[in-house]
Structure 1
């Protein structure tokens, strides 16, 4: 993965980067002038030292856009100054920021090659010291080499951190996309499964009553049509919101829509007893939608699988949690196999920190969910 300095970044990050570059430019100017003066180069600093420092500092301001160009121009300026003066204070350190910036890019090998070439030239240029002071020569070249290695190493670390952050962002994006697909799948499953269950029952009623009681068949078809229309409206709302704002949560039915849900189940032939404890209107939207979907899936299972005749829905709305219990008198089984519906129900409840309990016995099937209300102690 290529590591480059981004040209378009959020304004706060861009401003912070600009301030950092300005600070590094000032440090470069002050450091170069101070280093040259400390080396006691003959002549006035205005003969070239200050101009070199200002030029290197100005290059730092554009290091993010042209890192390799900044490095090469910095080295060329240092060469020009060295050839026109008696400065002997080093080759690498005046271009420290330029070396680091270029080492953060994928061209780090070229950076190392340029640095080694500069060190080789410095070793040859400084060879006259060998006859007078060998330790000074060794310390000088070794120090320059160590500084170059540190700058390149720091650039490699910076590039590795940038790659790690990029991979982390990609992982987060993939996780968010997977969660969005899962959420959409749960919504579509809840809507379609309930609709097909109710419509299927009504169509069976219509088919059985078509010859003997056309009025009853027509009534069953009207109920199936109404349920189908509501499902199409819900799906259109879901798709529309996802298209306009994929990260948003589509408007969904809450506890206020339980009446229509129970009415559909009753129209499909279930005897449903709804008991509401507390104030459903005080329940926040997230637990309200989850409670609605639990009831919807439980009623759908009662219609499709359990062969139940009676279902009792108990809704408890408290300040700390919402409890939902749906119990039917259908045929139970010893082992519960969680398919898409039950799995989606459990995932919804768990996402809010709640607990879902399923119980199946010969006397019926029951679902109980406890859903904490956000901001309260569970």
Structure 2
């Protein structure tokens, strides 16, 4: 569309320029044909900008020599000069323009003897126009390169952010799996000591199931990292919260899940954050809290989701900010939410509130 607009403007500009100059020349005697040719070749300027410039200059010479056109030498090909000046061949464009100006000065030598101001107006005017066209081409090309570098930088930033997000996913999966599997292995070992092979087999079966699910998730995530860092990764959703709770129960933790509201209106990003917060909180409970029970409460409101995970394990005066808590804070902070972690002698509590209105899906 831009090329067509430039072609039309060139045709109209050349014809009206001749008429405005009040030259004793009918636009239909050659000016229109010349302008039409300049406009048509401009449709090829993106693919062959230098060819278009050379054809435009050749046409200018031909129509001047045949007396079918009596206007300027540079301005009829302004669009062609600008297009060529946007390319790496800009030095050749400037050299061609200077050569054309030199020829124009020789061509107008008769005017120099009769009217010096008119001669200077023609030559210097078109020289300034040529300089402006080359400068505009250089600026446009520099802006295009800057935009391209900006797009590449943004692409690298998005890829780095995606890799960081995937690394957090890997951490969450591995930490949760090791916690559950570790508990089940302890149960199996105790059952074998008590000569209860059935209970040991059940514990090992649960550990195997959790391990298989984790391996499937890890294969998907690693495949994304290997093949397409910017591609979508498989994400958990609120519908799988039940499986998460069952895994914790299978590890020997009495867990209750209290969901209130409609989860169907929660966008994907907050939904993943809710799942990972519950997962990390239960993993910490299994690994560090020595707890026997935990309660998970999730409230789905019209503008936010609230998550609260509370256990009855041993608290501590100082909370260590490991990868898990850092990941939770990063997830919640990225969604403009709030996260609080409280540790008391009576247990450990994680609370989060995540906005959902206007969240990206």
Q: TM-score, normalised by structure 2?
A: 0.87
Q: Call closer, same or farther: CA 1:96–1:375 in 2, change over 3 Å.
A: closer
* Alpha-carbon distance in 2 for matches of 1:220, 1:231: 17
Bigger Cα displacement from structure 2, 309-318 vs 236-245: 236-245
Question: Do residues 165 (structure 1) and 143 (structure 2) align?
Answer: no
Contact in 2 for aligned 1:271/1:310 (Cα 8 Å): yes
Alpha-carbon distance, 1:136 to partner: 1.4
Question: Do residues 179 (structure 1) and 161 (structure 2) align?
Answer: yes
In the alignment of these two chains, the number of paired residues is 356
SS of the residue 2:309 aligns to: strand
Contact in 1 for aligned 2:187/2:200 (Cα 8 Å): yes
Match of 1:297 among 252, 262, 280: 280
Q: Find the counterpart in structure 1 of residue 337 from structure 2.
A: 354
Q: Find the counterpart in structure 2 of residue 51 from structure 1.
A: 33
Q: Find the counterpart in structure 2 of residue 107 from structure 1.
A: 89
Contact in 2 for aligned 1:25/1:60 (Cα 8 Å): yes
Bigger Cα displacement from structure 2, 356-365 vs 238-247: 238-247
Alpha-carbon distance, 1:143 to partner: 0.7
* Alpha-carbon distance in 2 for matches of 1:42, 1:346: 79
Q: Find the counterpart in structure 2 of residue 131 from structure 1.
A: 113
* Alpha-carbon distance in 2 for matches of 1:375, 1:352: 10
Q: Find the counterpart in structure 1 of residue 236 from structure 2.
A: 252
* Alpha-carbon distance in 1 for matches of 2:39, 2:18: 15
Bigger Cα displacement from structure 2, 274-283 vs 142-151: 274-283
Instruction: For structure 2, list consecutive stretches of 5 or more residues without a partner in the other structure.
Output: none
Question: Do residues 267 (structure 1) and 282 (structure 2) align?
Answer: no
Q: Find the counterpart in structure 2 of residue 84 from structure 1.
A: 66
Q: Find the counterpart in structure 2 of residue 6 from structure 1.
A: none
Question: Do residues 345 (structure 1) and 328 (structure 2) align?
Answer: yes
Bigger Cα displacement from structure 2, 32-41 vs 185-194: 32-41
* Alpha-carbon distance in 1 for matches of 2:317, 2:94: 70
Alpha-carbon distance, 1:248 to partner: 3.4
Q: Call closer, same or farther: CA 1:27–1:204 in 2, change over 3 Å.
A: same
Match of 2:211 among 211, 219, 228: 228
SS of the residue 2:193 aligns to: coil
SS of the residue 2:336 aligns to: coil
Could you report, residue by residue, the CA deviation over 1:190-214 in whole angstroms, capped at 9, with x for unpaired residues? Answer: 2221111100111122223323233
SS of the residue 2:351 aligns to: strand
Contact in 2 for aligned 1:327/1:367 (Cα 8 Å): yes
Q: Call closer, same or farther: CA 1:126–1:86 in 2, change over 3 Å.
A: farther
Contact in 1 for aligned 2:302/2:357 (Cα 8 Å): no
Question: Do residues 194 (structure 1) and 176 (structure 2) align?
Answer: yes
Contact in 1 for aligned 2:308/2:349 (Cα 8 Å): yes
Q: Find the counterpart in structure 2 of residue 9 from structure 1.
A: none
* Alpha-carbon distance in 2 for matches of 1:233, 1:146: 68
Q: Find the counterpart in structure 1 of residue 53 from structure 2.
A: 71
Could you report, residue by residue, the CA deviation over 1:296-343 in whole angstroms, capped at 9, with x for unpaired residues? Answer: 100111112333333232222333322111123334444433232222
Q: CA RMSD in A?
A: 2.8
Q: Find the counterpart in structure 1 of residue 136 from structure 2.
A: 154
Q: Call closer, same or farther: CA 1:81–1:148 in 2, change over 3 Å.
A: same
* Alpha-carbon distance in 2 for matches of 1:363, 1:92: 86
Instruction: For structure 1, list consecutive stretches of 5 or more residues without a partner in the other structure.
Output: 1-18
* Alpha-carbon distance in 2 for matches of 1:147, 1:134: 19
Bigger Cα displacement from structure 2, 228-237 vs 338-347: 228-237
* Alpha-carbon distance in 2 for matches of 1:257, 1:27: 62
Contact in 1 for aligned 2:267/2:356 (Cα 8 Å): no
* Alpha-carbon distance in 1 for matches of 2:249, 2:201: 17
Contact in 2 for aligned 1:100/1:155 (Cα 8 Å): yes
Alpha-carbon distance, 1:92 to partner: 0.6
Alpha-carbon distance, 1:362 to partner: 4.5
